[in-house]
């Protein structure tokens, strides 16, 4: 079994059990104890799980964010389904914001056939879309956040405060019914708030593995988004709870 699939299976197992042990994971995934221990060390370093004397549990509060390279390895198939569906909301000739992130990068790959104006803080998205002549790309500019390889800071905020776009696609590592969308960095929080504020409608694109985790700074309540695109990995009771929100939900 490939490492990324084991990661997903470990996270899914912890969502069901809340607390587990190496021995239980060995039986559930049918792999060696050494493999499980290595995976748990990797996931703990990424801030996904927390190891305790009693075993291992999901890390509900996350103080830091994963690097782009780390995020690229996780839940790739889910991100591809989410992004393909969300890209269907983009119409020819429209102006959109693509937030920094691996899911929004996948959206970029699905809109290259359209004439568009795209505004993004993400260096990789900007470079990728600049290869297509029918797409006008604008970078936010400003200080570079190394973890996300994207622009943050007051220079980026000034640009956002002077424009109005059709759709803002917002990504997040942390979302929940109770806490909404949160981030570990104040600068990124302010930028996401501005992205939501300057768009006619904002759409949250986020995979289910990030659900029920939160960080220090609040970006928005889930009801501030017009639509949420996620994958079908959420438990039935969570889906039912989310349906109480006045938001159009898509489970891909």
Adjacent-strand bridge partners of 119: 97, 138
Considering the domain architecture, whether residues 31 and 114 belong to the same structural domain is answered as no
38: CATH? 1.10.10.10
Asked if 182 and 140 sit in the same domain, the reply is yes
Q: Write down the pLDDT at residue 99.
A: 97
Domain count, the chain: 2
**Are 132 and 162 in the same domain?**
yes
Q: What is the pLDDT of residue 65?
A: 54
pLDDT of the residue at 200: 97
* Residue 53 belongs to domain spanning: 3-58
Predicted TM-score of the model (pTM): 0.74
Residues 48 and 72 in one domain: no
Count of alpha carbons within 13 Å of 134, Cβ hemisphere only?
9
CATH classification at residue 162: 3.40.50.1360
Let me know if 43 is exposed, middle or buried by CB neighbors in 10 A (0-12, 13-18, 19+).
buried
Q: Given this model, what pLDDT does residue 48 score?
A: 81
| Boundary of a domain, candidates 58, 77, 102 | 58
- Residue 63 domain-assigned? no
Quick check: 58 and 18 in contact, CB under 8 A? yes
- Strand, coil or helix: 191: helix
pLDDT at 71: 55
Contact, 58 vs 50, CB < 8 A?
Answer: yes
Query: Which tens digit of pLDDT belongs to each residue from 101-159?
Result: 999 999 999 999 999 999 999 999 999 999 999 999 999 888 888 777 888 888 889 88
pLDDT at residue 183, as a whole number: 86
Low-confidence residues of the chain: pLDDT under 70: 1, 16, 53-54, 60-74
**pLDDT the model gives residue 187:** 86
**Residue 172 and residue 225 in one domain:** yes
What's the pLDDT score for residue 67?
52
Residues 217 and 186 in one domain: yes
């Amino acid at each position: 079994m490939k490492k990324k699939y084991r990661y997903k299976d470990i996270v899914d197992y912890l969502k069901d059990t809340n607390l587990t042990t190496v021995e239980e994971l060995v039986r559930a995934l049918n792999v060696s104890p050494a493999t499980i221990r290595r995976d748990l060390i990797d996931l703990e370093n990424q801030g996904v799980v927390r190891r305790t004397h009693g075993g291992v549990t999901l890390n509900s509060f996350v103080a830091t964010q994963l690097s782009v390279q780390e995020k690229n390895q996780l839940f790739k198939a889910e991100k591809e389904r989410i992004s393909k569906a969300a890209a269907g909301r983009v119409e020819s000739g429209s102006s959109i914001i693509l937030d920094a992130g691996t899911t929004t990068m996948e959206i970029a790959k699905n809109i290259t056939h359209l004439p568009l104006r795209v505004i993004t803080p993400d260096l990789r998205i900007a470079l990728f879309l600049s290869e297509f002549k029918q797409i006008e790309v604008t970078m936010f500019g400003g200080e570079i956040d190394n973890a996300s390889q994207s622009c943050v800071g007051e220079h980026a905020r000034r640009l956002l405060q002077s424009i109005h776009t059709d759709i803002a696609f917002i990504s997040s590592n942390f979302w929940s019914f109770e806490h909404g969308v949160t981030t570990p960095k104040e600068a990124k929080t302010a930028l996401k708030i501005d992205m939501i504020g300057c768009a006619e409608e904002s759409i949250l694109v986020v995979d289910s593995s990030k659900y029920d985790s939160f960080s220090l700074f609040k970006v928005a309540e889930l009801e501030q988004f017009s639509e949420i695109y996620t994958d079908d990995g959420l438990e039935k009771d969570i889906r039912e709870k989310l349906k109480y929100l006045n938001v159009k939900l898509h489970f891909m």
